[in-house]
Amino acid sequence: MTGNFDISRLYAAIARTNIAGDGTLQAGTQENKKRSQDIFYIGAKPALLALAVAMASACSTTAVHDHASPNLPTENPGELAPMVAAPQPAPVTLNPQHALPVQSQPAQPLQCEPQAPAALAWTRSGHEDLWARVRAGFQLNHDSNQARVQAQLNWFATHQSYVDRIVNRASLYLYYVVEELERNNIPTELALLPIVESAYDPFAYSHGQASGIWQFIPNTGKMYGLKQNWWYDGRRDIRESTRAAIQYLSELNRRYKGDWELATAAYNAGQGNVDRAIRRNRKQGKPTDFWSLQLPKETRAYVPRLLAVAKIVSNPDAYNVHLNPVPNEPYFHPVAIGGQLDLKEAARLASISVEDMYRLNPGFNRSATDPKGPFELLLPARRADEFSLKLEQLAQAGRTSWDHYSVKSGDNLGAIAMRHGSSVNAIKQANQLGSTTIRPGQRLMIPRSTSAAPHFAAVAPQRVANHHSTAPGNAKAGRHRIEHEVQAGDSMWKIAQRYQVSVKDLARWNSLSPRDAIHPGMQLALWTDQPPTSPEPSGALLPEQVRKVGYTVRSGDSLARIASRFNVKLNDILKWNPLDRPEYLRPGQSLTLYIDVTKVNQGLL
């Protein structure tokens, strides 16, 4: 298998390596990293250098094109911490137009036969905790006494619960990000950038339409090779978005001659903003380092926040912050699926929950993978072999295939079902339709596998019961209705305990007996004392797919235009925002929207 390889990375790895008296390899000190390449020619280093030269001689030059995009601030209330800039006020929203990068000459790394350079094994050795490996790859200067950095440190020191949530979420993806940064000879401080961007949340979404852990906006995502369509959004794909981010950060680093502070500032504000600030300072005879530039307020807090996170990771005890350990081993493993696959079926084959399937594969917008690829799924490493064996045993007839159909004038569900070899009930269930009413331009998922019918048939009675459960007699005063999809391992008792209701009530609300069996995929209606945190019409597969977004009305906006842009209903906007005169919107007016990030690009083909 051919992979990218840069001989300078191997040299750097050798320089970071000490050889103990017993011949074992150990991580080098910061002092070692700063030594010249003469270090390779003393002691035991010549042997390692010979290995590097031998590997280099087998390589051939191949051009690699950059495909990346800058990001915008993410709005994820309660999870993405506010930028704390001292003495600046709260961040401002950047114009997405300013974020378009300027293409430069692509890098030309070398191609080598080995799947991974030996340097990676050396870097991994001796680090059971991934945080130790992250620290070993730090290269940026953390010794800034800037008040802006101190303000960020103070914030983290008083928000331990926020740190815990980020670490828990990042533990799924951090190993892969660190591995890719090392492979591309990029400082591992950049593995902390998604903390600043998105709190390591793949479903993070901003009013500027930035999405994913690296926060790409749609236009630049497409410009740099991140596939986006009705089925799939590469901006949320962990591996694809990481590839794109690394390529763009590398390009920025070259543009600013190795200055990572300027490079990360440009990743946030866009190259245009940083370049203009540099030109302005040059004309005034001022320094052109990051700290001397007049940049957007968001960006003036962005780089200090990254440095503050790096300082905390370097020495958490010094800032009274606890970092839960993260194993220094892959959390997920890619598995080929050979074609389109229903994600619920995939979760069943892997013996994991549907939620976990989507958290590892957040790029998929629908309940099935894209029929045109990618044809791989990320699965917990411990489940990958089991999944592959079960997938091989799954008959082709058992693999649900899906058509993507746009409703035309004169269509009805019966005709569509007959044309695609499906059924009206199956189409209604796949698209969460409460009736057979459809409209021209509406997009539908059409299941074509005969094996899909039993699945939908099993779920259908529960959905009928759920509709009946909305009758006034089933709800207690002051309670709110929610739906729960039964997962593997669920029981009536467990679900009742989770939502603090009685098994008897749970059964009655769903026209079941307390002793009835339930199975994965069933939809159960519940009435709880807790108000819904997101709008019920979303139909999102995971709660975190629905995000509360603050939108500022622009000149020429209308409610219909805003609803169309974010793929929400006009009536829902009116429900979320008590507007005195909804026909009159004024520029600068603030609106609250609840957006299903998997459907916001539904209009893309």
Report which of 137, 183, 124, 246 is spatially closest to residue 6, judged by C-alpha positions.
Answer: 183
Can you say how many angstroms the Cα of residue 579 is from the centroid of all Cα atoms in its chain?
33
Q: Which amino acid belongs to residue 18?
A: N
Query: Helix H segments across 137-229?
Result: 147-157, 160-170, 174-183, 193-198, 218-223
User: What are the φ and ψ backbone dihedral angles of 106, each rounded to 5 degrees?
Assistant: -70, 155
Single-letter residue type at 434: G
Of 75, 179, 189, 197, which is the active-site residue?
197
Strands (E), 56-112: 60-61, 110-112
Please enumerate in sequence order all residues whose Cβ is within 8 A of that of 561, keeping only pairs 6 or more positions apart, or say none. Answer: none
Residue 346 near residue 384, CB atoms below 8 Å:
no
The whole-angstrom separation of Cα 64 and Cα 118 is 22
Contact 488, 440 (CB under 8 A): no
Q: Residue 93, exposed/middle/buried by CB under 10 A (0-12, 13-18, 19+)?
A: middle
Helix runs in 315-364, H state only: 343-350, 354-360
Q: Read off the amino acid at residue 133.
A: R
Indicate the pairing of strand 3-5 with strand 590-596: unpaired
Cβ atoms of residues 320 and 158 within 8 Å = no
Q: Is 197 a catalytic residue?
A: yes
Q: Is the dihedral of CA 358, 384, 199, 193 positive or negative?
A: negative
Q: C-alpha distances in angstroms, 235 versus 67, 245, 383, 433, 434?
A: 11, 10, 25, 28, 31
Exposure b/e, 464-492, CB count within 10 A at least 16 = b: ebbeebeeeebeeeeeebbebbbbeebeb
First-to-last alpha carbon distance for the chain, in angstroms, is: 33
Evaluated on CA atoms 227, 264, 132, 326, the torsion sign reads negative
- Using the Cα atoms of residue 488, residue 489, residue 491 and residue 496 in order, give the sign of their dihedral: negative
Nearest alpha-carbon partner for 515 in 485, 488, 491: 491
Residues 43-51: contacts with CB under 8 Å, at least 24 apart: 43/19, 44/19, 45/14, 45/19, 48/14, 48/17, 49/11, 49/14, 51/10, 51/118
Q: Check if the beta carbon of residue 149 is closer than 8 Å to that of residue 261.
A: no
Angle at the Cα of 282 from the Cα atoms of 281 and 283, rounded to 5 degrees: 90
Give the Å distances, CA to CA, from 546 to 67, 238, 324, 537, 577.
28, 19, 28, 11, 17
At residue 150, what are phi and psi to the nearest 5 degrees? -65, -35
Query: Hey, which residues are catalytic here?
Result: 197
